[in-house]
Chain A
């Protein structure tokens, strides 16, 4: 036995069960799936520019007869929803698993949508593992099922499965050959005439799949001694099992198409049937539709994660009193030396409206910087800025910037920029280029010049790209040069045409060799004005007489030096202080 996270187990499952092609865009809590798959030479693994492309690549591989996998966080499936729905019509040849890692509790997400609905919506089979061993085993089942019915299989993980390590028995790789590609336009070329037939075929498949689910060993009853019956799936099974050990459980690992007869026969044995599931009443509504009385979301919360205490209290009424002590919150924060900090300082200084996007830089929205107005979804900053301009007029655009990271720009910012140019927008788009997908733990992307497998690749040149799209006002500046950023922002925002400012500085966590001795505040000259403290740098705090103090353990030295540039008294410097810069 070894301890594997759910994500490592999915990767192991992909390896053992013959997956040949895997693609993803990084997103918590799914990122480590592809990082681990990339360790296997037998699997062609890649970071795609976004989830839609990743899905299309893996689907293409499945058309080509290879077992394939695509992985993404829950909101990533919204991006990939277009090919998801079509793929139910085209079907596949090689087994194709779509891993959706949901984030109940929104540990690192903008919403907590329950992607099990996608199975019902797109008409695809749904598997739900509840720990790492099942993640590995179910992946094999999913691939077999996919090939048997010629359909993609939705594989629903959640944060506590992805990021929990539990014991796993590992095995060896099955050799599965790739058959020659066969053209079949009746299936894969979805013009209406073909798609109408495919829809009929899909409905037939769903009937057959329901019979499969009724018999599936992934669905099982655990007989208990008590009078309580619980239907559950995924991580909620673990909470229910622990919360009410005497209950009988129907655990659904293959939960769509819904195994109606199985549920009916289980329910018949109990006066009171509960459904324990995280977030939405996906199982509950299907049980209620069978006319079976069931207790679910009236007792089990719909918002946030569950745990054994919440489930116990909901079912047995047993309460645990535990009063938290009062403490100051400890929110995440831009790192000391972060290349985004100088730009956010200027957003405040220049009183700009900043539509924001998704990445580390979203932390610029938090106090004391408070330098961001919106954060909606990947790429939204640019369209939002254009929309604001249309609502508020071009004078407003003189003070509006869209803020987007390099990886997010490649993911879904390029189309937004084209839209601004095409539709006569005059806002300024700021690409914060730290040359990596930082928030999810430093993944490569098409702008870094390196692939997931560590091979070198051409780099996207943002300035050249912007000009090619029709932007004339393009500036590239050093993220640690406040004056240069300020000038570029001024020119960009004042221009009555779209502008792009590329603020470039490597993620400071990736360039430790550039870190130097901590900067020092000269106590004599410091007037305790507090300007540097408003940068929100963890290395800066208030010392005696409210004067600034720099933590020698946290400061990265003059590779950054933003605080020294901001200080009006020039009292921050290397070594002795006082020399300024």
Chain B
């Protein structure tokens, strides 16, 4: 499906990936796209790798994105960028949160991850998600920061994003999240 946008959101259980995927999927449905979103629950949640597939287009059949066909890859953690990098279509936008989470079984973070990402994908954009989220007023808004950066590569209006954020984020955190989104979207990250 050449007219399909394939967003792959990857990270570690507990980083707000599933909510971020839901938010984009609902935004796309509002904009009258056909949408499918898929992820796996269960064992994956206990600190394991989590990946959410969001596909939107005129007509979408498969709920999963396959190797080399992700049009956009958003990694919530550095090593997770590398884990899924082969899914990205050549030259597609790669957004990488600078956070590093040591995988279970290791006692220290592997060396050279950032260089390996840059070597394979020179177009990678590194985002200080925690820094921007903190500036906006809540460190937990990292997932919205990353969506703000992603929004620069997608054809949705700011009002559509705002509506989607308002619907998905608890009311008392809406302002902080809108601020986080705005900073990232306007290239403050």
Contact = CB atoms under 8 A, between A and B. Distances in A.
Instruction: Answer whether A and B are interacting partners.
Output: yes
A332 B47 contact: yes
Interface stretch (B105-113, B150-158, B170-178, B180-188): B105-113
A322 B87 contact: yes
A330 B46 contact: no
A221 interface: no
B98 interface: no
Interface string A296-336: 00000000000111000000000011111101111111110
A348 interface: no
A536 interface: yes
Contacts of A241: 61-62
Interface stretch (A284-292, A363-371, A495-503): A363-371
A107 B116 contact: no
A164 B46 contact: no
A332 B85 contact: no
6 contacts: A3-B26, A3-B29, A107-B44, A308-B66, A320-B69, A330-B12
Contacts of B106: 328
Given A160-B38, A167-B35, A541-B102, A327 B46 contact: no
Interface of A: 1-3, 28-29, 107-108, 131, 159-160, 163-167, 235, 238-239, 241-242, 307-309, 320-325, 327-335, 360, 363, 366-368, 439-441, 533, 536, 538, 540-542
A238 B64 CA distance: 10
Given A107-B43, A108-B42, A333-B104, A166 B67 contact: no
B108 to A, nearest CB: 5
Nearest to B44: A332
Contacts of B35: 3, 165-167
Interface residues of B, number: 48
A216 B87 CA distance: 39
Contacts of B107: 533, 540-542
Contacts of A332: 13, 43-48, 104
B120 interface: yes
A331 B48 contact: yes
A404 B47 CA distance: 22
A238 B37 contact: no
Interface string B24-53: 011001000011111111111111110000
B63 interface: yes
Contacts of B38: 160, 163-165
Contacts of A108: 40-44
A164 B63 contact: yes
A307 B67 CA distance: 10
Contact of B64 (A160, A324, A325): A160
B86 interface: yes
A30 to B, nearest CB: 11
